Structure 1
């Protein structure tokens, strides 16, 4: 098969997979998903009786990525932060009707409203005046809408994005093929507004970044990998503005081969940088050995 035909087939497969997400699922699948979430190992995580310590006075809210959820995205990072004395919380957002387990598919502005309500709930429960946000992929970008348009800057101290889709993605060039598939953009938008909104050059991305990437009063950290195959080109993840730190994980450990999913799911080197971003006064150098921490 010619290379261009392989690319077209890959893109068509992507669109079909997105469209399949709109197929209704059975009540048994709903029950299975709920049971999984209920039995997830979240000891101390999502504990609304947790009170932040003097050492870590702000609760940490974890914001999952596209097609993920509040449990599976954080099975490693949540306990990692909990073990370091943080009150840790995570939410589900961007649900589509009839699609359990796989979230962050709905309109991003509506997802930001869900985040706003959840942060209010966490602050009320913990008694803290501000929270820190840590997000993977869409979860590292969607909070910027909350900060910029929904008053979140008054309630958030820091945003840490792990492989965030900060300026839209070309999806390794696949989105450039959309014009060659009549109706493909409509299919993508119908299947998942969030996927369509995350394409480079979308109206949503243009609006989000108009006037600058950041808002005053919030510290921003971006942790990226050069092997990212989803948010591409990877350097578009980086932010510009005041109080921004951009980190390329391979500058800290050239041996780190994590791509888009792994850097958010289980990369201890990236997680060490998350801990440094949450507590810069106690930051320690991140190296390849940080994977052992």
Structure 2
């Protein structure tokens, strides 16, 4: 049976319309990749709960709960010991999320163990962005008023800091950034925080603890790790 020419034309037009709908849209963008998991490392005499405000902000801005690790550790032990435990924690987070790298956001003494990890334990291959909020990266006078291995290591001129700061202060392929406040009474001198090779930012007049909760600092940290 012959199919009328008009019918053939209708079928052809329909097929063309189908092909046109299925064709890629010019300029279409691929789905956005999931952000790196963030491992938060608190400071001396603190715990993972210190990050509740910042972690909640990251969650509100699209980070999945599985990608926000507010880790807790024993702050009295040597920062080298903490660095080894941090290595295990980061490996756990990578395995759980399927990510290839993490971002590390630290407060105060948390910057020391995480720097030890990136410098001495191969962490630079697993950390994309590293953040220090009020870190005693070159020591602080207030560490003379506390005891234990970790406090001794935070004192200016300690053997731990001398080794940590020898050579390249920001080694490997990781991106480094620090934030310091002129009103931080815990880190003395203020210049202790900044690292050679890092993006170093002076904040408004904030207390040591406020560095974790200030909205402006959060926005800047999010832009850096994002």
Name the TM tier (shorter chain): 0.7 to 0.9
Say if 2:138 and 2:192, in contact at 8 Å, map to a contact too.
Answer: yes
CA deviation profile, 1:130-164 (whole Å, cap 9, x unmatched): 00000000112320100000110111101011111
Match of 2:53 in 1: 76
Partner of 1:4: none
Q: Which residue number corresponds to residue 260 of structure 1?
A: 208
- Return the TM-score normalized by structure 2: 0.81
Give deviations 1:178-198, integer Å, cap 9, x for gaps: 8xxxxxxxxx5xx42101110
What is the TM-score with the length of structure 1 in the denominator? 0.63
Q: Partner residue of 1:237?
A: 193
**Pairwise mapping of residues 198-277 of structure 1 onto structure 2 (< 5 A)?**
198-241=154-197, 244-250=198-204, 257-264=205-212, 266-277=213-224
Structure 2: how far apart are the matches of 1:165 and 1:236? Answer: 6
CA distance in structure 1 between the partners assigned to 2:104 and 2:190 by the alignment: 21
Distance in 1 (alpha carbons) for counterparts of 2:71 and 2:54: 14
Report if the CA contact (8 A) 2:135-2:192 is conserved: no
Counterpart CA distance in 2 for 1:228 and 1:208 is: 23
Contact 1:62 1:133 in 2 (8 A): yes
Identify the residue that residue 164 of structure 1 maps to in structure 2: 135
For residue 140 of structure 1, the aligned residue among 108, 111, 117 is 111
Q: 1:118 to 1:78 in 2, by over 3 A?
A: same
Q: CA RMSD in A?
A: 1.6
Aligned pair count reads: 193
CA distance in 1, matches of 2:219, 2:114: 21
CA positional deviation for 1:55 = 4.2
CA positional deviation for 1:75: 1.6
C-alpha displacement at 1:109, in angstroms? 0.2
Structure 1: tracts of 5 or more residues without a match: 1-52, 96-103, 179-187, 251-256, 280-293
Task: Please give the alpha-carbon distance, in whole angstroms, between the structure 1 residues aligned to 2:55 and 2:41.
Answer: 11
Q: 1:120 aligns with which of 91, 104, 126?
A: 91
Q: 2-side partners of 1:150 and 1:156: how far apart?
A: 12
Does structure 1 retain, via aligned residues, the 8 Å contact 2:176–2:199? yes
> 8 Å contact 1:141–1:161 — kept in the other structure?
no
